[in-house]
Amino acid sequence: MRASQRQDSNEERPADAVLLARVAEGDMAAMKALYMAHADAVTRFVRSRVRDEAEVADIVQDTMLTVWHAAAGFQGRSTVLSWILSMARNKTVDHIRKQARVTLGAPDEEIPDSDPDPEAALGAVQDAARLRACVEALPERQRAVVHLAYYEDMTLGEIAGIESVPEGTVKSRIYHAKQLLLRCLSRDGQT
């Protein structure tokens, strides 16, 4: 399934580039089409780092406004989505830094407890909830690369471009995230 999803996203890339070129010329309809094509992916990406939905919406809107103003600067060295997600990452990092200055020592959200239910029909639902909780408990950098790799189906190179780090760093973050997920799931499975 992933190979076919990857092929579909490759087929959309020329259309994205055409839309972005039209956006650079001030075409509002092209911006709307580009927004509709990528707003969900940008929202999921920002949500992987920011928990407050209002803040997520603000960052997405700010990102897409930046796309509108910076469209002429797109040089085609990455996919349009990777370029947009790079902007979203920068906006998110700026937001997190600003929040850190404003709310020093804000407590982290607690991981929801997912006590196992004896009914087999609910087992899969509980496993999914446990996995989500463990993913949410990952450090922000690891959670971001896991999100991009497994939910957005991006390559190591695309993730490295978005995160502005070498591919080796992405590999390392994914490896360590997997180790933490294994420990979290093993620990939760023993309770």
**Integer Cα distance of 88 and 48 in angstroms:** 12
3-state secondary structure 76-145: CCCCHHHHHHHHHHHHHHHHHHHHHHHCCCCCCCCCCCCCCCCCHHHHHHHHHHHHHHHHHHCCHHHHHH
Residues 26 and 115 in one domain: no
Residue the block writes with tokens 């499975």? 189
Lookup: tokens for 116: 């196992």
User: Whole-model pTM?
Assistant: 0.58
Q: What is the CATH number of the domain that holds 13?
A: 1.10.1740.10
Q: Which of 57, 92, 107 is at the close of a domain?
A: 107
Contacts of 130 (CB under 8 A, 6+ apart): 114, 185, 188, 189
Question: Residue 164 sits in a domain of what CATH number?
Answer: 1.10.10.10
> What pLDDT is recorded for position 83?
93
SS3 (DSSP) at 20 = helix
Q: What pLDDT band is residue 13 in, cutting at 50, 70 and 90?
A: low
Per mean pLDDT, which of 9-13, 34-38, 181-185 is the most reliable? 34-38
Domain boundary among 47, 82, 107: 107
Measured between alpha carbons, how far is 34 from 55 in angstroms, rounded to an integer? 21
| Boundaries of domain holding 70 | 1-107
pLDDT band for position 112 (50/70/90)? low
**Total structural domains within the chain:** 2
Among 107, 122, 140, the domain-final residue is: 107
Residues 57 and 134 reside in one and the same domain? no
Residue 126's nearest CA partner among 112, 115, 137, 110 is 115
d(C-alpha 84, C-alpha 113), whole Å: 35
Whether residue 180 is predicted with pLDDT greater than 70 in this model: the reply is: yes
Query: What six digits make up the tokens of 88?
Result: 């979203």
- 109 pLDDT above the threshold of 70: no
